[in-house]
Structure 1
Amino acid sequence: MKQWIAAMAATALFGVASAAQAAGQYPDRAITWIVPFSAGGPTDTMARNIANKVSEELGQSIVVENVPGAGGTIGATKASRSEPDGYTFLVGHIGYMAAAPSLYQSLRYDPVKDFQAVFRFPDTPLVLLVGAGSPYASIDEFVAFAKANPGRLNFSNAGVGSTSHLVAALFANKAGIKMQPIAYKGAGPALNDLMGGQVDAMFDQTNTALPQTQGGKVRALGLTSSERMAQFPGVPTIGEKAVPGFEVATWYGLYAPKGTPPAVIDTLYAAYREVMQDQAFTGSMAEQGIKLLPDEAYSPKAFQAFTEQEGKRWAPVIKEAGISLK
């Protein structure tokens, strides 16, 4: 009887919340965004910057909760089991929302079935880096050596199954070369060893690589974006040089637990659209090497379809590279 009463009470509360949302009273308390990485990293920084702006539009605070571990899958699992009441969301990432189903033998959530896309953040392209003292002055020289010497070159990455690992695997596959991966516990140590000359190359995000390239500590050989970037003068895209059509980026976005009322999704997306009209804000992101997208790409419908496509895109890459996690 007690369980029945509790269930009826929970249903009643959810009904009240839904009624409030329908009446335009949402949100009437703080909202939580779960970030499955530690504070201070690129995903956390991006999330907090956008959360602050969306919060201003909503007139309600957004609390960023860091739930790190297992490549982001712990936080994603927690978010998938949250009440779909419009007050808990997941900040999604290419790793645990696209690659994870192919990386892990047992995943406790489904990126497509357990979540509803709310909106997509701007993308962050990557750049192929070598040390300042590297003998490779161009991507053509790098690829030529790799083809003539299979397995001689190595690349550092932020960890097995990380974006930097996956992009390097995709690049090697498309370029027809073999490189040895060296996994680190984070992008910072991986970049430090590249600068120190302990490894040959690394794919890093443009916004975090920019200070190092400007300081002459590393050399940029090629961008994973579709077009050249002013922040990296003279650096070609990989697509125009080594691998025609090559384009990939680290992507992020906001997801709601499946079953979240459509009115909530619409409210969050409307607030985000206003944020993306702030030219000072978007201009600041662009200056850091973050790629702004066409307006229609940010929408819930487009982002949901993109999430499904990305899962299919990375599955064969991961299988071909033999990458696996428990």
Structure 2
Amino acid sequence: MLRLFALVLCLLPTTLAAAQSYPSGPVTMVIPFAAGGPTDVLGRIIAEHMSKTLGQSVIVENVGGAGGMTGGSRVAKAKPDGQTIMIGTVGTHAQNQTLYARPQYDAASDFAPVALIAEVPLVLLTKKTLPPNSLQEFITYAKANQATMNFASAGNGSAVHLGCVMLNMAIGVNTAHVPYRGSGPAMNDLIAGQVDYFCDTIAGAVPQVQAQTLKALAYFGKTRSPALPDLPTAQEQGLAGFEAYTWNAIFAPKGTPPEIVRRLNEVAVAAMDDEGVKARLGALGAQIVTPERRSPEYLAGFVKSEIEKWAVPIRQSGVRID
């Protein structure tokens, strides 16, 4: 017992010194999707403010593939020193645990949760030439043309993939899935008319809706978004109880010292409290979480509950990726 106590005393100064000297250089923030998508945009806004607070650059690196698991796997295997972190989503840290037969990591145990940042509902978007102009018109059209229709996603197992899967299941259609390496490339092809529809986050949808490069038919949140106040919810348009969303959170590798996790949490919360950051995220439709939901402990429990929550509809949908 005395030896153990002595060992703890010996290690304590080292741990504290590591935390006090953190970060020792630029921090890499992995975005597990292609540049230009909503996760990338949100991550860059947060990274910019974190850089100022930490006094070191937070460099965004886009590592797409496998619905975000390629980037997630890289961070899970990174050295646990706080120099490599990531922006995770409901797709990378909840839905993929059931959707994939062999996930590349355990989302609940292979990471050190840092902070839940924001929740972001999805929006049903279609190419401009698709005839429907409302959700009910879309349902009627899709049922009649499902054999030739397709939808885009940010990759197999991504939140926006599951959003359209849940929509298809709710309205009773089966259309072809076209996965991309992120929302950015998917959005580009939707605008070009190469795919029929896309259930993207409102953060990614707002600029294109305002530019009138595509159609927005329904918002998948509980109530209308201030970012697109004229867009009715799916529930308003007759799809009772339907919601689809993603969320964004910061994760570090498992084993990252608690003192470094706390420091990262502090700078993340400082970003969320910044009026400029609030305005930029709000304009994109991202809903910054309330203070009681921002701790590492909250995020750890939240991830476990989200894995359990999404397991049920994913299994019911019958979608499974080998």
TM more than 0.5: yes
Q: Which runs of structure 2 are paired with 1:64-213 in the superposition (5 Å)?
A: 64-146=60-142, 154-173=150-169, 175-186=170-181, 187-195=183-191, 197=193, 199-213=195-209
Tell me whether 142-151 or 50-59 shows the greater mean CA deviation. Answer: 142-151
- Give the gaps of 5 or more residues in structure 2: 1-9
Q: How many residues align?
A: 314
Distance (Å, rounded) in 2 between the aligned partners of 1:100 and 1:34:
18
Aligned residue number for residue 20 of structure 1: 17
User: Aligned in 2, Cα 1:39/1:168: closer, same or farther, shift over 3 Å?
Assistant: closer
The reply to whether residue 36 of structure 1 matches residue 32 of structure 2 is yes
Distance (Å, rounded) in 2 between the aligned partners of 1:195 and 1:48:
23
State the Cα distance separating 1:153 from its structure 2 match: 5.1
Counterpart residue identity of residue 19, structure 1: L
- Output one character per residue of 1:12-65: Cα deviation in whole Å (capped at 9) or x when no partner: x9876513146x443343333233334444333322221221121122332334
User: Aligned in 2, Cα 1:87/1:312: closer, same or farther, shift over 3 Å?
Assistant: same
Counterpart residue identity of residue 30, structure 1: P
Query: Does the CA-based 8 Å contact 1:129-1:221 persist in structure 2?
Result: yes
Tell me whether 227-236 or 113-122 shows the greater mean CA deviation. Answer: 227-236
Query: Does the CA-based 8 Å contact 1:155-1:179 persist in structure 2?
Result: no
Give the TM-score normalised by structure 2. Answer: 0.84
State the Cα distance separating 1:86 from its structure 2 match: 2.8
Counterpart residue identity of residue 127, structure 1: V
Query: Does the CA-based 8 Å contact 1:169-1:317 persist in structure 2?
Result: no
State, as a whole percentage, how many aligned pairs show the same letter: 36
Aligned residue number for residue 253 of structure 1: 249
State the Cα distance separating 1:126 from its structure 2 match: 1.6
- Give the gaps of 5 or more residues in structure 1: 1-12
User: Aligned in 2, Cα 1:143/1:70: closer, same or farther, shift over 3 Å?
Assistant: closer
- Cα RMSD of the aligned pairs, angstroms, is 2.9
- Output one character per residue of 1:156-185: Cα deviation in whole Å (capped at 9) or x when no partner: 333332322210111233x34113033142
User: Aligned in 2, Cα 1:210/1:244: closer, same or farther, shift over 3 Å?
Assistant: same
Distance (Å, rounded) in 2 between the aligned partners of 1:293 and 1:189:
28
State the Cα distance separating 1:310 from its structure 2 match: 1.9
